[in-house]
Amino acid sequence: MKLLIKNGRVIHPVTSTVLLQDILAEDGRISLLEHGLTVQADQTIDASGLAVAPGLVDMHVHFRDPGLTYKEDVLTGCAAAARGGVTSVACMANTSPAVDKPEQVKYVLERAKLANGVGVYPVAALSKGLQGEEPTDAEALRRAGAIALSDDGNTVDNANLMRDALILANRLDMPILCHCEDTSMVAGRAVNEGSVSRQLWLEGRPAIAEEIMVMRDAMLAEETGSKVHICHVTTARSVDIIRKMKKKGVPITCETCPHYFTLTEDEVLRQGALARVNPPLRTKADVHGIIAGLKDGTIDAIASDHAPHSVEEKSRPLARAPSGMIGLETSLAITLTQLYHTKKLDLPGVIRRMSTNPADILHISRGRMSLSAVADLVIFDPDEAWTIDPERFASKARNTPFAGWKVKGRVKYTIAKGRVIHRDEA
């Protein structure tokens, strides 16, 4: 199978360049990458006026499979990914049962074979049942196909357990992805501690709860020499801590999400439970701090933290509704709107944080724009305006606070291993 993409503005995130080039994909890999190709192909796409980039690598999604498939499953999650230009996803372990045994890892991988070709990479639980008490068998999980360990959704409060896990994971060359909030300071609380929590007469989740755990895990990384990745950073002070630790040479990386550089805690007053997310939306000063961290490279990656819930669940009162919002189908558009069109990041900078860097952190061979690389590609119009309509999503869920938003940047084609898996019909 030969796929030829002509006349595209090809984004090279590693070299920070955008070049007018054609791409030939053969047997799932990029075989030619130059201007003016005249070869014959089974399918040709004219990408004139469009950007062509490595397929996005979303390193933080929740597909709810096994056990919670009324919210989402691997097949619908992969369909949503394709619509958002995402060709690889790392699925978190907080399913039912949790992905804490090799057979659960194998189940996710088997389900992925039935999907549309999006690469699905299971993240296994760090502790049994995500309880933070007993370690899982990391070696067996890795052999089964898990690429990383995380209790995401829960914090590993036990510092000794985390330290031991980091030492073992370093030996296995297996990243640990850390949810950072001190459980004793946030349990059962719905929103950021601040003006909104006071207006709603609710106990809040203080920023310091995140920052304490970011510092702890950074110090453990420093002490053990093991790599640690901080999930969904939300506060300016967390960014400062990570920045300082990176300057010291600590092997630490981190991610944030579009909602954390776009929305503030005030969104809760407007949209209630739709704006409840874990960790919570923070203040305007924190949004500025997140953007600063993205601009200077302190924040390595942008992930969606795609967290589907049913309409009934998100219709509950704020204090009883589950945390989370979906984002696979909107993350690129919101990032382009908020960062590229405001000149905070250029296109290679956006793609580096949404493709190449996440792939590097997870040690997967995707998200590359080079000869012989896997032909995972996204073709998009960075300037096309459209309105977010959850009713048109491929996801089972509709829980987004961005419904009705006008954004700029639309995915036209998503290609996985040289095969078109999504084409925009709008």
- Active site amino acids: 305
Per the CB < 8 A criterion, the answer to whether 93 and 151 are in contact is yes
Beta bridge partners of 19: 10
Q: Exposure of 413 by Cβ count < 10 A (0-12 exposed, 13-18 middle, 19+ buried)?
A: buried
Sign of the four-CA dihedral 184, 189, 190, 192: negative
DSSP reduced 3-state for 215: helix
Contacts of 385 (CB under 8 A, 6+ apart): 406, 407, 408
* Distance (Å) of CA 238 to CA 24, 53, 59, 100, 208: 43, 30, 20, 29, 9
Per the CB < 8 A criterion, the answer to whether 421 and 376 are in contact is no
* Eight-state DSSP code of residue 111: H
Cis preceding linkage at 206, omega within 30: no
